[in-house]
Structure 1
Amino acid sequence: MEHDGVRATALEREAFLSMSDRTRDIAADDVCILVPTLNEAATIGDVIDGFREQGYSNVVIVDGDSDDGTRSIASDHGAEVFTQTGDGKGQAVREALEYVTVPYVLMVDGDGTYDPADADRMLEPLSRGYDHVIGNRFADMDDDAMAALNGFGNRLINRSFRLIHGAEYEDILSGYRAFTTDSFERLSLDADGFTIETELAVECVKHGIDTAVVPISYRARPEASETNLNPLRDGGTIVLTLYSLAKTNNPLFYFGSFGAASIVSGGVVATYVLWEWIQYGIGHEILALVSAAAVLLGVQLVMFGVLSDMLVTLHREQRRRLEQITRDERGRDD
């Protein structure tokens, strides 16, 4: 079942659940449950137990040097624990993947908001050939799971992603992800903090990674657990990340937006200069030069964006052909 821009209804979610219960082609031993943590002592034990109850015993905790006993609790509950050498969730994920030896990874936050019972549903698309899966929290969200400001910000960011990068993933900030280790190695990830989910979504579009969106449940954070997110600061950082990543994924939008802004600015100044000259006979030679330069710069930026977009399109086509050739060669070898 695929969700192409249509929010899952409760009936769709139940249908998807029924299908997932019938299909489990991926062995639990082939899956690493990856949990980045930072001061999640109140919830990490229940998270680990939940996945172990679902049959997933390979749970890896990559911890950002918590000072509340998170690591000891995780060890007591049977998880493999190590402390990341750097800072931030993005760095933790990249570092952890260097030690993963199984073909599939199910990444989840350690705050208890995601349901381990959704694990099979998240992994099912991988058995059908998808390389990356995003859990859509908005399909079944508790009323108090997300503050109004956070909900507004999430929807704004999802719309911005759709506009800038041209894909409908419904919930790009979801922390519940499943992916193949092979596909992860194809991505160029630099984010260190909470923008890792945003960068993952952009890189999936950029590299043509087959991505599925599935409905999941999303629960309110337990009272004893405190969030590490700042809605305004981190939300602004995510929007800027979306825009900056367009430089290599959608250069026409990136350079075209700058060019359009420059043209409009030059046009406004030129209109003012012309009005002053017609009404009062006052000439503004310097402003006239500035407006002309702004318009010319804007036109050049738009042209550069068009040329860059053509190069990106050709590069993607060549990459698809090379990947197809590689797949054909592997098929013949098998």
Structure 2
Amino acid sequence: MPIELSIIMPCLNEAETLAVCIGKARDYLERSGVSAEIVIGDNGSTDGSQAIALSLGARVVNVTQRGYGSALYGASLAAQGRYIIMADSDDSYDFSNLDPFISKLREGYDLVMGNRFKGGIKPGAMPWKNRYIGNPILSSIGKALFRCPASDFHCGIRGFSKEAFHRMDLRTTGMEYASEMVIKATLMNMKITEVPTTLSPDGRSRPPHLRPYRDGWRHLRFMLLFSPNWLFLYPGTLLMLIGIAGSLALMLTPIHIHHVRLGIDSLIYFAFMVIAGYQSVLFAILSRVYSVQENLYPGSIGYRYFFRHIGLERGLIAGGLLLATGLGAFIYALVEWQRFAFGMLDIEHIARICIPSGLTATLGIETILFSFFLSTLGMSVRHHPTESPLDYVEPERARG
């Protein structure tokens, strides 16, 4: 029979709980009658985990590249089922109740997320700081940045189709893998839903591989880096607009607000805000281009339009005009200085020429350099073929 389901588990020295997890999965498959396989993505275990898995009829895939994401990716790559359900091999997730996931996958959903807050968290299964601070905050940030429908953004049990797995083209190797999966599925407009699931205490006697603060920061960092609009574009645009408005207002005359006088000292800081905001906007564009080029972020119509209409030549023209404007103002300042025989000048008057001159010249140079760098990133090159499964994993099967 064709395999409908592959149950995959990452493994790194999980001899204490691996047999329990495989046993629960096998019990479920026998009851449900689903045509399935169990695949263990082993990340270099030295405690006999591979032998345990093979003795219980599971397939073992040796993933040489270390990391939670690498182990799951290697197992998913080797999976033969139409659908894949992944969960940790520490006995914290219930492999004996996978019907909700199978049902939703058969309905056509691309990604089915478990929700521990709806299904139940048993006493001792999740530290209070993760339950009431870490997970709610990270899930809220994920929903705000990407409009993701999942309420439990980092639940470790989830199901997806093999076709969706290939479309997502996941690249991260560590704990960010879970975030990348949800984010990419959302950005690619895949069908996503949630089902209740129960979280139990970790069945191992040793500490878990998870480190709450380090891994929480890695997830947050990944979400921010995956959202250049919120990280760079929106703050940079706001800062630049404030700087431009303040600079234009102070270029001609000081401004008095009650007893406060804003003069050239304020003009300097408004000019700084323009430069900092402009650089942030450029970073947003460059980070998006890099992410698309590396297949970390799906391309869009707006992205293709930008590259089609904003090329090197237009960037050089815009930068050249800004630079020429700044140099023109610099020449005008020299003429003014000459009028006073290159002696003492009215600082209020000359600063209102020199500061905008330096500002526009700086923006022009940044635009020119940005255009060259953007053109380098956007060059049409032949990419190396993707890794083959045989380069990445080494399947093992039970003898006999």
The TM-score normalised by the length of structure 1 is 0.73
Mapped pair 1:49 → 2:23: yes
Cα deviation digits, residues 53-97 of structure 1 (max 9, x gap) = 112661111111122222222222221112202111212222223
Measure, in 2, the Cα distance between the counterparts of 1:296 and 1:233: 32
Cα deviation digits, residues 213-272 of structure 1 (max 9, x gap) = 00011111125243101111110010010111123xxx4x344333156449959x989x
Go from structure 1 to structure 2 and tell me whether the alpha carbon gap of 1:146 and 1:35 turns closer, same or farther (over 3 Å shift): same
2:123 aligns with 143
Residue 190 of structure 1: how far off its partner (Å): 1.2
AA aligned opposite 2:97: D
Q: Percent identity?
A: 25
Q: Give the gaps of 5 or more residues in structure 1.
A: 1-26, 317-334
Q: What is the DSSP-based 3-state SS (H/G/I as helix, E as strand, rest coil) of the residue aligned with 1:121?
A: helix
Q: What is the DSSP-based 3-state SS (H/G/I as helix, E as strand, rest coil) of the residue aligned with 1:42?
A: coil
Residue 279 of structure 1: how far off its partner (Å): 5.5
Measure, in 1, the Cα distance between the counterparts of 2:214 and 2:243: 32
Mapped pair 1:171 → 2:152: yes
Superposition pairs of residues 8-87 of structure 1, within 5 angstroms: 29-55=3-29, 58-87=37-66
Residue 174 of structure 1: how far off its partner (Å): 1.1
Count of paired positions: 281
Cα deviation digits, residues 109-164 of structure 1 (max 9, x gap) = 10100011221121110111111111111121112210011121011100000110
Go from structure 1 to structure 2 and tell me whether the alpha carbon gap of 1:73 and 1:240 turns closer, same or farther (over 3 Å shift): same
Superposition pairs of residues 1-334 of structure 1, within 5 angstroms: 29-55=3-29, 58-139=37-118, 140-151=120-131, 152-247=133-228, 251=229, 253-260=230-237, 262-263=239-240, 266=243, 283-284=264-265, 286-294=268-276, 312=300
Measure, in 1, the Cα distance between the counterparts of 2:227 and 2:184: 10
Measure, in 2, the Cα distance between the counterparts of 1:298 and 1:85: 38
Residue 212 of structure 1: how far off its partner (Å): 1.3
Q: What is the DSSP-based 3-state SS (H/G/I as helix, E as strand, rest coil) of the residue aligned with 2:300?
A: helix
Go from structure 1 to structure 2 and tell me whether the alpha carbon gap of 1:170 and 1:312 turns closer, same or farther (over 3 Å shift): same
1:10 aligns with none
Instruction: Give yes or no for contact 1:258–1:301 (8 Å, CA) kept in 2.
Output: no
Instruction: Give yes or no for contact 2:242–2:270 (8 Å, CA) kept in 1.
Output: no
Instruction: Give yes or no for contact 2:112–2:193 (8 Å, CA) kept in 1.
Output: yes
Measure, in 1, the Cα distance between the counterparts of 2:143 and 2:274: 34
AA aligned opposite 1:197: A
Residue 166 of structure 1: how far off its partner (Å): 0.9
Measure, in 1, the Cα distance between the counterparts of 2:53 and 2:268: 67
Q: What is the DSSP-based 3-state SS (H/G/I as helix, E as strand, rest coil) of the residue aligned with 2:10?
A: strand
Instruction: Give yes or no for contact 1:262–1:298 (8 Å, CA) kept in 2.
Output: no
- Which stretch shows the higher mean deviation, 54-63 or 214-223? 54-63
Instruction: Give yes or no for contact 1:261–1:298 (8 Å, CA) kept in 2.
Output: no
Measure, in 2, the Cα distance between the counterparts of 1:303 and 1:68: 47
Q: Which runs of 4+ in 1 moved over 6 A?
A: 273-276, 298-305
Instruction: Give yes or no for contact 1:35–1:108 (8 Å, CA) kept in 2.
Output: yes
Q: Give the gaps of 5 or more residues in structure 2.
A: 31-35, 293-298, 305-400
Q: What is the DSSP-based 3-state SS (H/G/I as helix, E as strand, rest coil) of the residue aligned with 2:100?
A: helix
Larger radius of gyration: 2
| RMSD (Å), alpha carbons | 3.5
1:7 aligns with none
Q: What is the DSSP-based 3-state SS (H/G/I as helix, E as strand, rest coil) of the residue aligned with 1:202?
A: helix
